[in-house]
Structures are given as C-alpha cells and as structure tokens.
Amino acid sequence: MHDWKKENKFIIATGRSKKEAIEILKRNNLDFDYLITNNGAILYDKNQNILIEKQLIWK
C-alpha cells in the first residue's frame, strides 16, 4: 500500500460520521489523504481539516 500511495491518493467515502470513520481507520491501521463523511456532506483533508461542508436547508 505504501508504494501505491506514492503515486496515488487514498480517499475514503462513507455514510458514517467523522468520529466513527476515524475509529475504524485507526483500528485497521489505515491513514487517508481525503475523507468524505456523512454521505458526501463533508470532505476532510489528511489533517482532518474541513475542505467542503454542505448542509441541507429545509424550507
């Protein structure tokens, strides 16, 4: 995996929350370049900074 990551980005997409996703990734000894959570609503970088956040606004 480490050789593959030299030339590629590892992106995880899940419907779970950030907290749940991070727990699973840590348990499995995986790191990521980008993490997409909450069914695509939030995009994080590898430092867990929010890059994009979209919320549904009900009218």
Q: What is the pLDDT of residues 1-38, one digit of tens each?
A: 668 777 899 999 999 999 999 999 999 999 999 999 99
CA distance 26 to 19: 11
Is the CB of residue 51 less than 8 Å from the CB of residue 45? yes
Pair of tokens at residue 52: 């994009």
CA distance 24 to 3: 22
Answering whether pTM is above 0.85, one says: no
What single-letter DSSP state applies at residue 33? S
